[in-house]
C-alpha cells in the first residue's frame, strides 16, 4: 500500500498588511494642505504677513481676519501660513542633512568597525552629550547669524549623533547576511557592497526615522524662534509668533493659539505617520 507523503514544508504566507487608520490619513491630509498653502501662499488671497493695517490689533476671528490679528494688527492666518514655510524648510533640510552625513558615517562605522567605529561613535556620543536645544542655541549665538542656513546647520547637529548610531546598528544587522557574504566571496569592492547591498536595506528604516525626526526639528526651530535665535524678523515663524503673543495673553489668546495649533497639529501628524511607517516595517525606533 502506498501513502501520499505529507508536505513537511508548508508554504509560509506573510500576514496581510494592516491598512492605515483614519488618524493617519487625516495626518496626511493636514500635511498636504499645509505644504500646498505654504508653497502657494503668494498666490492665495492673503494679507501681507508684515502689514500692520490688516485689522484691529488683537482682534478676534472675523470674516475679514479668519484667525484674528496680533498686537500690531497683522493677520494671523497669513502669518501662520507664511510661518509654515520657515518651519517646514528648516525641519526637512536639517533632518535631510543629518541623514546624509550621519548615514554616511554610520555605514562606515558599521561596516569597517574597529578604529573607524570607535572614532565615529565617540564623536556621536560627544554630540549627544549636549542638551539639544542648548547646543543649537549656542551655535546660532556663536555665529551671530540668524539666517536659515545657520539654523538648519545648528538643528542638523542635534540629529547627527542619533542618526549615526541608528544607521550603524542597521548596518551591523545587515553586514553578515548571506547576500553580503556572497558579494564579498565574488570579490566585490567595499564601495560596491556598501552602495549596492547594504545601503538599500538601510534606507527604508532611515526614511521612517526621518519622518519622526522632522517633527522634532520643527519643535527645535520653534524653540529657537521663541528665544529670538531663529530667522530674523519681519519674516514670521511659529515660535516667534508665540513669543510675541505671550505678553498680551490677558488681552487675546489667538496670537498664541493660531501658531501653536499649527505647530501641534504638524508635529502630531508627522509623529503618527512615522509611527505607522515603522509599524508597517516591523520596527520601532522609539523617540529620535
User: Residues 191, 168, 195, CA angle at the centre, nearest 5°?
Assistant: 20
List pLDDT tens digits, range 28-83. 999 999 999 999 999 999 999 999 898 899 889 998 999 999 989 999 999 999 99
- Cα 152 from Cα 169, distance rounded (Å): 26
Cα-based distances in Å from 239 to 11, 157, 170, 193, 236: 55, 20, 35, 44, 9
State the pTM of this model. Answer: 0.85
Q: Which fold has domain 66-281?
A: MetI-like fold (1.10.3720)
73 vs 17, residue with greater confidence: 73
Q: How confident is the model at residue 6 (pLDDT cuts 50, 70, 90)?
A: very low
Find out whether 73 and 56 touch, Cβ atoms under 8 Å. yes
pLDDT at residue 182 tops 80: yes
- Cα 270 from Cα 92, distance rounded (Å): 11
Closest-CA residue to 267 (of 256, 278, 255, 275): 275
- Cα 124 from Cα 169, distance rounded (Å): 13
- Cα 236 from Cα 171, distance rounded (Å): 41
Extended beta strands in 142-281, E state: none
pLDDT at residue 221 tops 50: yes
Q: Of 15-29, 161-175, 272-286, where does mean pLDDT reach its minimum? A: 272-286
Find out whether 27 and 273 touch, Cβ atoms under 8 Å. yes
Mean local confidence (pLDDT), 127-151:
87
Cell (9 digits) for 49: 504677513
Cell (9 digits) for 187: 570579490
- Cα 168 from Cα 175, distance rounded (Å): 10
Cell (9 digits) for 33: 494642505
Amino acid at each position: 500500500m502506498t501513502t501520499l507523503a505529507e508536505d513537511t514544508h508548508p508554504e509560509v504566507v506573510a500576514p496581510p498588511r494592516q491598512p492605515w487608520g483614519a488618524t493617519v490619513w487625516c495626518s496626511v491630509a493636514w500635511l498636504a494642505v499645509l505644504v500646498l498653502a505654504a508653497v502657494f501662499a503668494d498666490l492665495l488671497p492673503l494679507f501681507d504677513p508684515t502689514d500692520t493695517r490688516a485689522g484691529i490689533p488683537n482682534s478676534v476671528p472675523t470674516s475679514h481676519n479668519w484667525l484674528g490679528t496680533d498686537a500690531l494688527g497683522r493677520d494671523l492666518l497669513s502669518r501662520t501660513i507664511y510661518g509654515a514655510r520657515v518651519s517646514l524648510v528648516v525641519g526637512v533640510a536639517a533632518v535631510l542633512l543629518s541623514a546624509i552625513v550621519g548615514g554616511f558615517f554610520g555605514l562606515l562605522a558599521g561596516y569597517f568597525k574597529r578604529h573607524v567605529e570607535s572614532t565615529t561613535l565617540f564623536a556621536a556620543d560627544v554630540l549627544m552629550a549636549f542638551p539639544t536645544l542648548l547646543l543649537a542655541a549656542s551655535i546660532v549665538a556663536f555665529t551671530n547669524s540668524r539666517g536659515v542656513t545657520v539654523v538648519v546647520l545648528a538643528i542638523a547637529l542635534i540629529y547627527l549623533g542619533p542618526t549615526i548610531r541608528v544607521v550603524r546598528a542597521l548596518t551591523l544587522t545587515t553586514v553578515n547576511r548571506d547576500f553580503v557574504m556572497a558579494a564579498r566571496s565574488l570579490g566585490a569592492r567595499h564601495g560596491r557592497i556598501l552602495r549596492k547591498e547594504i545601503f538599500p536595506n538601510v534606507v527604508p528604516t532611515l526614511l521612517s526615522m526621518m519622518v519622526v525626526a522632522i517633527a522634532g526639528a520643527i519643535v527645535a526651530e520653534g524653540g529657537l524662534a521663541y528665544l529670538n535665535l531663529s530667522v530674523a524678523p519681519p519674516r514670521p515663524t511659529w515660535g516667534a509668533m508665540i513669543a510675541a503673543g505671550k505678553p498680551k495673553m490677558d488681552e487675546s489668546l489667538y496670537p498664541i493659539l493660531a501658531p501653536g495649533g499649527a505647530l501641534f497639529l504638524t508635529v502630531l501628524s508627522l509623529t503618527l505617520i512615522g509611527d505607522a511607517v515603522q509599524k508597517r516595517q516591523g520596527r520601532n525606533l522609539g523617540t529620535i
